[in-house]
Structure 1
Amino acid sequence: MNITTDKNLHTIESKKVNDTDSEQNVEPWVATKMTKMQIFWMIFTFVFTLGPIRVLLFILIHAISLIFYRIMAIGVNESNSYGKFRSKLIEKWTNIGSRLSIATMGYYRIKIVNKENYVNWKKNRNERIIISNHSNQQDIEIILSLIATGFIAKSSVKNIPFIGSINTCLQGIYVDRSKKNTWIFDKIKLRATNKKLLPIAIFPEGTCTNNKSLLKFKVGAFSAGAPIQPLLIKYKAGFPLSFINLYFTVQNPWIIFLNLFTNIINHVEVTFMDPVQPTEEEKINPKLYLENVQKKYQEVSNWKVHNLGYRDMVKYMEEMKKVKKNN
Structure 2
Amino acid sequence: MIIPLINPIDQPQNRFVRCIVWTICKVWGRGVMFLFGYYIVREKGELNEKAKIIICGPHSSSIDMFFCLYKFAPSFAVAEFLTRNPFLKHLAKITNCLVIDRKQSGSSEQFVHDLKRRVNFIDEQGRQFPRVVVFPEGATGNGRSLNYFHTGAFLPGEPIQVCILKYIDDLNWTQWSVRNWVFHFSTIMCQLSNRLEVTYLPLYYPSVAEIEHPKLFAYNVKYAMAMKAQLTCTDLRYQDREEYEQCRKEIIRLGFKVPQPKSAEEQFRNAKQPLISVDPDSIDEKRAIFHSTHSLPSPQILKLIEAPQREKPPPNY
TM range (shorter): 0.7 to 0.9
Q: Partners in 2 of 1:72 and 1:281 — Cα distance? A: 45
Among candidates 247, 250, 253, match of residue 181 of structure 2: 253
Distance 1:308 1:73, change over 3 A: farther
Normalised to the residue count of structure 1, the TM-score between the two structures is: 0.71
Which of the residues 14, 18, 34 maps onto 1:87?
18
C-alpha separation between the residues in 1 aligned to 2:51 and 2:87? 27
Cα deviation, residue 295, structure 1: 1.6
| 2:102 paired residue among 177, 182, 185 | 177
In structure 2, the gaps of 5 or more residues are: 123-127, 256-317
Q: Report the Cα distance in structure 1 between the residues aligned to 2:211 and 2:171, rounded to whole angstroms.
A: 44
What does residue range 11-30 of structure 1 map to in structure 2 within 5 Å?
none
**What's 1:295 paired with?**
223
Secondary structure (helix, strand or coil) at the match of 2:133 reads: strand
Larger RCO: 1 or 2 (CA < 8 Å, sep 6+): 1
For the 8 Å contact 2:159–2:206, the answer to whether it is kept is: yes
- Of 101, 117, 120, the residue aligned with 1:193 is 120
Q: Cα distance 1:184–1:284, how it changes in 2: closer, same or farther (>3 A)? A: same
1:160 aligns with 2:85: yes
Q: Deviations over 1:203-257 (max 9, x none)?
A: 10111101111101001010111111111111112xxxx4352111123432212
Question: Contact 1:97–1:145 (CA<8 Å) still a contact in 2?
Answer: yes
CA distance in 2, matches of 1:104, 1:73: 31
Structure 2 residue aligned with 1:234? 166
How far off is 1:93 after superposition? 2.9
Q: 1:144 aligns with which of 69, 83, 90?
A: 69
> Match of 1:204, SS?
coil
| Structure ranking higher in helix proportion | 1
Q: TM-score, normalising length from structure 2?
A: 0.73
1:273 is matched with which residue?
A: 201
Percent of aligned pairs with the same residue?
A: 23
Residue 53 of structure 2 corresponds to 129
> How far does residue 183 in structure 1 lie from its aligned partner after superposition?
1.7
Query: What corresponds to 2:152 in structure 1?
Result: 220
Could you list the runs of 5+ residues in structure 1 that have no partner in the other structure?
Answer: 1-66
Preserved CA contact (<8 Å) 2:12 2:96:
no
- Contact 1:107–1:267 (CA under 8 A) maintained in structure 2: yes
